[in-house]
Amino acid sequence: MTSTITATASLLPTATGQLSTQPPITQIIPVLRATFSLLRTFLSQASRIVVALATPLLIFVPLISRLLAPVILVFHIVLDATVYTPYTIISNVAAALYPLYMFCGVACIFGAVLGILGRSLVTLSNNIIAPELPKAAGSLQGLSMRPRKRRRKGSFTEDS
């Protein structure tokens, strides 16, 4: 009986023998370091292989660029006419009209604020000077809710 108690007590952490409380990320760091080292080595070798294979193809670059020069020129002209020129015109007009846009925007906002403030002040002053009296409920019952009908004048009667 005493041996089981001693074995259990020896598994519990004591002041002299603390369990390892390292965060789990410290166990991942060596794996990540090895992975990135292998990846760097692979990429450096792959770039050398690509450069070695592409070097003979550089001979054909001037030939291909001269053959495609008319297509590139037409594409540049069409792009200039359909994209660059309208964009330049619109941006210049927007820059020229920006002060007017700001002036009108500020004037509209200020006018709206002034109108709302004026209406509120007039309503407040009217309520202070002449507050509304509650209307009697009996006076509304005498009024008919049915709309009145107009009398039609006969088309055959003569007006004198």
The whole-angstrom separation of Cα 118 and Cα 111 is 10
**Per-residue pLDDT reduced to its tens digit, 70-129:** 999 999 999 999 999 999 999 999 999 999 999 999 999 999 999 999 999 999 999 999
The whole-angstrom separation of Cα 131 and Cα 124 is 10
Between the alpha carbon of residue 57 and those of residues 47, 61, 139, the distances in Å are 16, 7, 101
Task: Report residue 116 as tokens.
Answer: 């709302």
The secondary structure of 42-92, three-state, reads HHHHHHHHHHHHHCHHHHHHHHHHHHCHHHHHHHHHHHHHHHHHHHHHHHH
**Per-residue pLDDT reduced to its tens digit, 87-104:** 999 999 999 999 999 999
